[in-house]
């Protein structure tokens, strides 16, 4: 069976999706990156390979995420795209009428404005944690409640308290202050959800033409409290796709399929899970830029370099094997 593989490697999670020729998702997995993208990618390949190695022939591979260049070298990718493109492609296939994509992950958040299936505007927030999932995780831990119960508790609130949400540090101190004043746990949690939404709309969504249909994706989309807070603030219902937490990887499946429409795949095979990959780096002292050059070794053979601005190292031919 022909199939396509999509991989999204971010700072918090590594997601893999396998899609068949009819563009139906066969499987998807979500793995914690834990600061080791090489290990996470290989773990994902091993899991998928064991389940689908004998049942599928991978005809195309797409990769995205902050570690997309590294991942492309590890697996042999046919398409290497940024997160905006990957998420937009997935939504254009799953919710063709979508005009706004709200995406909130563990460490960053983004908004993508689409018109007639084409990206017309976007913005990302990678500076403040107050508008991301890690902020909610931290507050849930402080309140000693499982993050899985966060949203349901928020829905039980009667009078959500207003919490300063512009900065994660201020939000946390304000939350503690509200606790000491005697506000209920449910009202505080609902206030935190609304604070995250305000932070998102005032920073990432500032100046954007936010129009329905609205698609909500990323790991935080599982939090019903955040979804409800967004709907309250925007006055429109949010659509949560079935594969909301792996949409970047799903988009890469479509990108991988398109890239190999008239060519064969570069995929190294599921056995890449067992290759010995070793990344190293050095500082080039050839000019005042002092570029940090990354080198990737596969089974002790140099297979890729990048990081130099002038191309002195990355443009050098590398003999593989």
pLDDT digits (tens, 9 = 90+) for 271-298: 999 999 988 999 999 899 999 999 899 9
User: Distance from CA of residue 157 to its chain's centroid?
Assistant: 30
Which residue segments constitute the domains of the chain, with CATH numbers given? 2-89+248-274 (3.30.420.40), 97-240 (3.30.420.40), 276-321 (no CATH)
Dist. CA 234–CA 190, nearest whole Å: 16
Predicted pLDDT at 321: 42
Q: Which residue has the higher pLDDT, 59 or 286?
A: 59
pLDDT for 149-177, tens place per residue?
Answer: 777 888 888 888 887 766 666 777 777 77
Helix (H, G, I), strand (E, B) or coil at 13: strand
Predicted pLDDT at 128: 63
Predicted pLDDT at 284: 92
pLDDT for 225-256, tens place per residue?
Answer: 999 999 999 999 999 999 999 999 999 999 99
Predicted pLDDT at 15: 95
Dist. CA 150–CA 157, nearest whole Å: 11
Surface-to-core class of residue 113, CB atoms within 10 Å of its CB (0-12 exposed, 13-18 middle, 19+ buried): buried
Predicted pLDDT at 166: 65
């Amino acid at each position: 069976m022909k199939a396509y593989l999509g991989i999204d490697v971010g700072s918090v999670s590594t997601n893999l999706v396998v899609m068949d020729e009819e563009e139906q998702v066969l499987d998807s997995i979500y793995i914690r990156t834990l600061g080791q993208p090489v290990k996470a990618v290989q773990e994902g390949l091993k899991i998928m390979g064991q389940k689908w190695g004998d049942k599928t022939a991978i005809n195309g591979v797409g990769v995205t995420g902050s570690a997309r260049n590294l991942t492309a070298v590890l697996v042999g990718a046919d398409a290497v795209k940024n997160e905006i493109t990957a998420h937009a492609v997935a939504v254009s296939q799953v919710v063709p009428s979508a005009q706004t994509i709200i995406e909130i992950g563990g460490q960053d958040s983004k908004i993508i404005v689409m018109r007639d299936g084409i990206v017309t505007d976007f913005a990302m927030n990678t500076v403040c944690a107050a508008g991301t999932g890690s902020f909610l995780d931290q507050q849930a831990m402080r309140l000693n409640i499982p993050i899985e119960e966060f949203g349901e508790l928020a829905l039980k609130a009667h009078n959500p308290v207003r919490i300063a949400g512009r900065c994660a540090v201020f939000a946390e101190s304000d939350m503690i202050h509200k606790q000491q004043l005697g506000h209920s746990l449910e009202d505080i949690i609902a206030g935190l959800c609304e604070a995250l939404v305000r932070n998102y709309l005032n920073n990432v969504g500032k100046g954007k033409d936010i129009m329905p249909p609205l698609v909500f994706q990323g790991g935080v989309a599982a939090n019903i409290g955040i979804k409800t807070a967004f709907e309250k603030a925007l006055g429109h219902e949010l659509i949560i796709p079935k594969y909301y937490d792996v949409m970047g990887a799903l988009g890469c499946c479509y990108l991988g399929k398109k890239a190999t429409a008239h060519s064969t795949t570069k995929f190294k095979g599921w056995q890449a899970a067992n290759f010995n990959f070793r990344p190293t780096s050095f500082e080039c002292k050839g000019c005042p830029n002092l570029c940090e050059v990354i080198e990737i070794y596969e089974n002790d053979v140099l297979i890729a370099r990048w990081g130099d601005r002038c191309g002195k190292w990355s443009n050098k031919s590398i003999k593989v094997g």
